Structure 1
């Protein structure tokens, strides 16, 4: 998967003689690059509008995402990591490319075989779902849907004859459900002439061109049959292209016979993508649109808190830490972009409270009190499940409890969610005043917490309640927008061992966390200095011991080069070394797929045993990927010594395809080493989430949204290359929606078995609700298992497709040459007729103020609005959104010169001209 690269001029891309409309595996322009160019162009436009509204300049130092992000956020200083920005965008790009795998034979998904109604329905239904998801702040579900529908939208311009008909602009009816599709060739209308060579420049019949009839090529993947006289898609995979009329009309790749058509299709697909993104932006509002695109500070504060009777001290400490982070980091790069709180007790857990407002977080955590409970386990894993599905990917989640888990049946679900989200879960275990005391790492019933923390790259910190305030400093350390892991290892049982690690010039706030009950250690610097654990304030670090945790803060600035940490212990221990740096990486395990447009798709679950592991890896740094060189990528055992090196293939834009031929048999993580080119400083980074291989494979694809009150059937398949026998199937979701499925499948090795799960969505489920569904399969004796994690969206049936009307009724824009001393204003009338009602009115462009009042005139509900701004800010666009997400806009530009540009419905054009003419 190509990740984000700088926004290139379309002319430059097309002039290089590249191909297009194919996924990764083709060269040059792909579906992904068409998408990323449009996405980044729109992001820059929105960032500029937000900067203007906040009275600041938008001046990115370059065109890379790493340079774009701080300019968007308004961060003048400090380190800002672009990792989550890349991660969010990759969610869009990966789903876009996977349409060619998951829906290879679906005509509507590709606008093949004249399936225009079905293709348009996918786009409009998907757009409605995205808007509803964004309203509920379910951004990942929205991104995944966006990637899929953009693929379909882009295919229209390559697979239909829209370009050949002489159109120079995108077809607006594809994204506007209130506009009907028209003039489509019916099944009995011939559309193409025969092309024996298959390379005719334009085989469309003259009658189709002159009549402006819309058609698309028929695709025959398993049969050569097609209606008489119809165009084929074309290409080696299309069997129908061998039947008269032969050839094809697709413009997927730039070839000698279709170069001009291909260029026009790429251009129009890019413009259509921008149009759809603009519609979503109008519905979401600028700031929520940027959050959808991953423009946010990457720190997220997520607490999961036990509220039983013995937890009063812990709750008080969680409040103190939350307040400290909120107050000390406000206005900095490290201010959390989101706050999440999940309380749990017995038998209750939740609800998940999610907010971007620090004052709301303060108020919610202040409401917590300790009550009930006793010497019994709690619903801890259920609460962690809510946090993992509700928090953004790669979040840090902190759990406070003094009791073991009651809901241990969720263990494999939690492991699957940890691996899917790459989030880190850390536990603070305290000794209560009752019998609910914390036992050691090696004994039940708390061992589960140690296992889950290790699997996620987190830690289990065991302290008394009196020691808890010292231990929670780790939360302050890790609440940063540029946190990276340098090294993480675990040993059980412990032994004498040395752990080397590289520190580069970009790192700061380097801290080592060592957990273990009885151990000694020595820290060695690159210059040969050393410091033992008994020297708490030394030349290399400040060492703090609390409970089973040693917190080792290296003195700033740390020396660059190869450090060493020597541990001596016979008991279990873990090591984690973190720092702040903009240099990091993101990755996905992928598999190659064949078909019409072969490529790579992300693996949803554990990679398959017996095959080389492939990763798509993106490296990012403060000055962009071009400033970095990746030298090594390896899979490393966390609890062992094995290192499996990968073969690196650079794709471009900071992206690499890595192949590891022999994968470690146990749990492993990804280790990357490289060099910053300007300084020759070598760096080391490590992923935190542990992964392993499996002989079991689960495949499932989300093909549509769920309707409230209606059953939804999701097919899936399970295959094993291991033991034949009875496999247990366990399916869970985070919304407590009733499920029906077969809990036992009889598998034969090498044979795929089909099954399905039915979700019974309650009738009162709101539109925009996302459901995280985890499907787990476990073999006989529990020796092997795998999982698939899917996000499904609920969308109530949409009946209102008409956007609200926004009418500029008066403009008072007499501005002198000294703009700073004067203001201008305009008045608008906004109505929604018989629609769903006005949901929101926002300033999409402009730095003025908008006030409104609602009146009833002639039985019609109307919003009368007044916009006022400085003459130095002469442009405004107002976005009006109804409750179904339909968007209406009105704009006024260049108030100083009196030039006007209004974006309204045609029915209001005459009224608008009458109101504006006196000003001209």
Structure 2
């Protein structure tokens, strides 16, 4: 990279936030609308619409009003099909998925700060549209392979570019009140563009730019956008600028700008109109994706899930027969007891491992497929005892949704222990819990066994994730797997958790609030450990009582599990533990009230704002968290802290309410050891209580600081098969949270990915004496030619110091996206309509039929499915071959004469959408049109029933909605 380019990058990084767009996350003036708000509102609106349509098709009520006042909690509740009135819901996954999308959206202002096409600047309309349509294609491919996490990150980036069109172009000034749908349809022409030699603006009058667009541009309806440049004032003569203090082109005639990024912008008087159009355009784009992928997959993409995944990573070597049998038993029990209920796992993940192999990963929503796969696992071989446990765990961590709980079954040490730092990075990034079921751990080293030293690796990873390392004999394993059943319940929250290493006698308190149910206390430690549990009213139970006044106690290896007897005794509880050996205490329950958090970092500039911070916070500096409380719109949060039990130390944060249940929390110091986020609050949502209910929640994932700063940005999250993406990274060393520009040193670099794609990276980088405290490098990642479109790949880049005592990391997700050449939607052509309808009021006794041929063109990818978009008739489809040898899908729809309309959605194999519309009108008969020379191949059926009046007139409309 040239010195000029490095200088430019440094300037951009120093001023990030300057980028020309709606405010990324938070509007500093309090009145403007940010990308975060636009994206969140659109996601909530479209998700609610899909749930409303599903409820209508199933004959259920849906009373939620769909507008911009929606919250994730209200949408989650309205979309949930409860199996009983006492079921608990958790909106944590929904909140997390929405956050992933708006953080990815905001990241465009970091990764593509000076890219005109990413922001529709400089009249880059075609290239901007290409980014959108290619991105949407990648999203649909990801969903097709059920890679929803990667799909969300790509979708967020796409939405940023789409939304910027309405702020940076003159679409609003031209008087348009609807989105420009050509931006999401690659087969449509972007029309009426102002040519390169056409002047579009005149000078603003002082600070007033309201009328700087030339009258001819407005009268002719010419589309233009402003030019932006951070360094140079050069722009084509007569062209509009973006505007603002960082835009050098706005200082050259014609001076001023036309952006509507916020109320104080050049055309800020039109900010809210632009934001509303951006929101409606995002809803339209989401609607296209919905039609292409189907309702259920769309809801999964949005993260609307009522339950967690069931995820097993299982050692399949010769000594694991009993463990595999127990994993099978407990998974079957969970599946069979929860099937058809709202607590049924949202997906099933299975990763086997041994040596020399691991995987393949199975991820499915089909419980029977999971059952079949786990039933086929057999224990065999073994050879040398270490197995590829961490490689299997890496696959599970990158495939499972964030905040998942993953269970690892093994009795062997990890042959790939070098992956420990990578696994730790993925745990911190995904905030997933990992619980290890370790069987027959020996107290002394013996060949072909898991000893204490080997088990310590698993204990460390469990501790980092907030999971547990349960050490048990094979004969008692069934007693320990009760924790898997506990975690498979809905809305499980962590109330309190602590790991004492080294151990010492201590007392711990936790709040038992009125929203909690099925509270369970887990204690792990040596056999000499004793404890005493005391309720809020002073009633006590000791560890010698297996069935006492407070709880039922069960033992399995190093695990004590206490199931509290009732959920009525709220208040402050205490547990005293007496042990000098390492132990852990974890208190969980079921509650709708929980929280999510993300580490964010402030950037200065025109849009001084916060962005998602990857990796660890910096030692000796400050930290900022974006915290969202889920499960109640009536909470007061007086306290959010960082807690380090090794001190012990608890640092209080300063809270800033962002409206709703969102809080920006600033910590002026960070604990030196491993720490977790704790939240204490009051819930006043119940009208039955005279005073708010106090509650506490704790994040499971351990955090730690680093004096190393590692930053990496990729210009695109998509990779074509056979191509290579280059990721520049920078390593710096810091003092008190600030880059030490005089520091030198060498840092080891490690880059790994979960797909075993070819990758290159330097083994180390060195900060030279005159390097300004920075060292730069690049990582390359190559997708093989055979990689299927929609495949996701997670790249983890790590940097540590020479002593390997300090480490930081970045986790990046990419999607393989093959170039799509089929950009035209399927076409419908009427074959025949027939009816026995009359003007009689007994319409329900008569039927009408509509038959159409559906094709995808000579160069199309072929029809994937035809479904009923509107109507409840019966649809049958048959594949035939036409006279020219082309494949034709014959759609035959039959419904009652009480129907008035039918819409059929037709999707091809790359997600292009066409719509057939049929409409009833008063008539008697329509003469059939018969297709000739066809040969029938296959038939499939499905359907619903329609409703309205009289006889039939069929209108067939082909509306290709790009995928």
Give the TM-score range, shorter chain.
over 0.9
Question: Separation in 2 of the partners of 1:61 and 1:187?
Answer: 46
1:56 is the counterpart of 2:53:
no
Determine whether 1:724 maps to 2:749.
no
Residue 394 of structure 1 and its aligned partner are, at CA, apart by 0.7
After TM superposition, give the deviation of residue 266 of structure 1 in Å: 2.4
Mapped contact 1:50–1:287 kept (Cα < 8 A): no
- Using the TM superposition, give the Cα deviation of residue 825 of structure 1 relative to its aligned residue in structure 2, in angstroms: 5.1
Distance (whole Å) between structure 2 residues aligned to residue 522 and residue 632 of structure 1: 28
Paired residues of 2:825 and 2:959 also in contact (CA < 8 A): no
How far apart are residue 743 of structure 1 and its match? Answer: 1.0
Relative to structure 1, the CA distance from residue 846 to residue 396 in structure 2 (aligned partners, 3 Å threshold; closer, same or farther) is farther
Residue 853 of structure 1 pairs with residue 862 of structure 2: no
Change (3 A) 1:799 1:498: same
- Return the alpha-carbon distance in structure 2 between the equivalents of residues 653 and 422 of structure 1: 24
1:841 to 860, 863, 866: 866
* C-alpha distance in structure 2 between counterparts of 1:549 and 1:583, whole Å: 27
Change (3 A) 1:638 1:702: farther
- Could you tell me how far apart the structure 1 residues matched to 2:836 and 2:71 are? 38
Q: Report if the CA contact (8 A) 1:198-1:246 is conserved.
A: no
Secondary structure (helix, strand or coil) at the match of 1:350 reads coil
Distance 1:553 1:871, change over 3 A: farther
Matched, 1:573 2:596: no
Is residue 64 of structure 2 the alignment partner of residue 42 of structure 1? no
The partner residue of 1:205 within 194, 208, 214 is 214
Structure-2 residue corresponding to 1:444: 453
Q: Quick check: 1:819–1:872 contact (8 Å CA) kept in 2?
A: yes
Of 704, 722, 737, the match for 1:709: 722
SS at match of 1:505: coil
CA RMSD of aligned residues (A): 2.4
Looking at structure 2, the residues matched to 900 and 774 of structure 1 have their Cα atoms a distance apart, in angstroms, of 59
Correspondence for 2:658: 651
Equivalent pair of 2:441/2:455 in contact (CA under 8 Å): no
The alignment status of 1:692 with 2:709, answered yes or no, reads no
**1:167 shift after superposition:** 2.8
Q: 2:856 aligns to what? A: 832
Look up the SS of the partner of 1:466 in the other structure.
helix
Structure 1 residue 99 displacement after superposition: 2.0
SS in 1 for 2:381: coil
Rounded Cα–Cα distance in structure 1 between residues aligned with 2:500 and 2:265: 61
Match of 1:553 in 2: 563
Find the counterpart in structure 2 of residue 498 from structure 1: 507
User: After the TM superposition, which of the residue ranges 166-175 and 368-377 deviates more from structure 2?
Assistant: 166-175
> Partner of 1:445: helix, strand, or coil?
helix
How far residue 25 of structure 1 moved from its aligned partner, in angstroms, is 3.6
Shift of 1:105: 1.6
d(CA) in 1 for partners of 2:960, 2:365: 40
- 2:540 is equivalent to residue 530 of structure 1: yes
Identify if the C-alpha distance between structure 1 residues 641 and 364 changes in structure 2 by more than 3 Å, giving closer, same or farther.
same
1:592 and 1:637 map into 2 onto residues whose CA distance is 24
8 Å contact kept, 2:915–2:960: no
- TM-score scaled to structure 1, two decimals? 0.92
| Structure 1 residues 327 and 822: alpha-carbon distance in aligned structure 2, compared to 1, 3 A threshold | farther
Counterpart pick for 1:167 among 152, 176, 181: 176
Contact 1:375-1:435 at 8 Å conserved across structures: no
Q: Determine if contact 1:430/1:437 at 8 Å carries over to the other structure.
A: no
Question: Quick check: 551-560 or 533-542, which moved more?
Answer: 551-560
Q: Does 2:958 align with 1:905?
A: yes
Q: CA offset at residue 149 of structure 1?
A: 1.3
CA deviation after TM superposition for structure 1 residue 805, in Å: 1.2
Quote the Cα distance in structure 2 between the aligned partners of 1:687 and 1:819: 60
Work out the CA distance in 1 between the residues paired with 2:243 and 2:954: 44
Take 1:846 and 1:750, find their aligned partners in 2: how far apart are those partners? Answer: 66
TM-aligned CA deviation for residue 753 of structure 1: 2.3
Task: Classify 1:811/1:60 alpha carbon distance in 2 versus 1 (closer, same or farther; 3 Å).
Answer: farther
Alignment match of 2:89 (pick from 80, 94, 102): 80
Is 1:430 paired with 2:434?
no
The answer as to whether partners of 1:827 and 1:867 remain within 8 angstroms in 2 is yes
CA distances 1:615-669 after superposition (whole Å, capped 9, x unpaired): 0000011xx32x1111210001144411111111111110000011111001111
Q: Which residue of 1 aligns with 2:36?
A: 32
User: Deviation at 1:819?
Assistant: 8.2
Match of 1:283 in 2: 292
Match in the other structure for 1:746: 766
Structure 1 residue ranges without an equivalent (≥5)? 1-18, 909-920
Residue 348 of structure 1, CA deviation: 0.6
SS at match of 1:96: helix
Q: Structure 1 residues 460, 863: CA separation in 2 closer, same or farther (over 3 Å shift)?
A: same
Cα deviation for residue 48 of structure 1 reads 1.4
1:515 Cα deviation from its structure 2 partner: 0.5
Say if 1:520 and 1:569, in contact at 8 Å, map to a contact too.
Answer: yes
Cα distance between partner residues in 2 of 1:535 and 1:890: 70
The equivalent of 2:200 in structure 1 is 191
Note if contact 1:402-1:436 (Cα within 8 Å) is conserved in structure 2.
no
Q: For residues 39 and 167 of structure 1, what CA distance do their matches in structure 2 show?
A: 23
The secondary structure found in structure 2 opposite 1:254 is coil
Provide the C-alpha distance between the structure 2 equivalents of 1:227 and 1:652, rounded to a whole number of angstroms: 43
Offset from partner CA, 1:109-144 (integer Å, 9 cap, x none):
111111222211111111111111111111111111
The 1:813–1:426 alpha-carbon spacing in structure 2 relative to 1, beyond 3 Å, is farther
- Work out whether 1:541 is the aligned partner of 2:551: yes
Displacement of 1:889 in angstroms is 1.7
* Equivalent residue, structure 1, for 2:15: none
Instruction: Assess if the C-alpha contact under 8 Å between 1:520 and 1:568 holds in 2.
Output: yes
Which of 58, 65, 71 is equivalent to 2:72? 65
* Post-superposition CA distance 1:719-762 (Å, at most 9, x none): 22266311110000000011111111002585232211122221
Given the two structures, how large is their TM-score scaled by the length of structure 2? 0.88
Q: Is the 8 A contact 1:311 1:432 kept in 2?
A: no
Displacement of 1:35 after TM fit?
1.9
Superimposed CA distance per residue, residues 275-301 of structure 1 (whole angstroms, 9 cap, x where no aligned partner): 211111111111100100011223210
Q: Distance in 2 between matches of 1:802 and 1:257?
A: 38
User: How many angstroms apart in 2 are the aligned matches of 1:580 and 1:814?
Assistant: 56
Contact kept? 1:341, 1:353, Cα under 8 Å: yes
- Over 3 Å counting, the alpha-carbon distance change for 1:906 and 1:847 in structure 2 is closer
Matched, 1:793 2:825: no
* Distance across 2 between alignment mates of 1:445 and 1:568: 26
Query: Residue 52 of structure 1: CA displacement?
Result: 2.7
Give, in angstroms, the shift of residue 272 of structure 1.
1.4
Q: Quote the Cα distance in structure 1 between the aligned partners of 2:299 and 2:417.
A: 38
* Cα distance in 2 for residues equivalent to 1:100 and 1:349: 38
Distance 1:306 1:822, change over 3 A: farther
The alignment status of 1:123 with 2:132, answered yes or no, reads yes
- Cα distance, 1:188 vs structure 2: 2.6
The worse-fitting range, judged by mean Cα deviation, of 69-78 and 677-686 is 69-78
* Distance in structure 1 (CA, Å) of the matches to 2:44 and 2:137: 22
Offset of residue 186 of structure 1: 3.1
Q: After TM superposition, give the deviation of residue 261 of structure 1 in Å.
A: 3.2
For residues 727 and 255 of structure 1, do their structure 2 counterparts lie closer, same or farther at Cα, with a shift above 3 Å needed?
Answer: closer
5+ unaligned residues in a row in structure 2: which ranges? 1-20, 736-742, 921-946
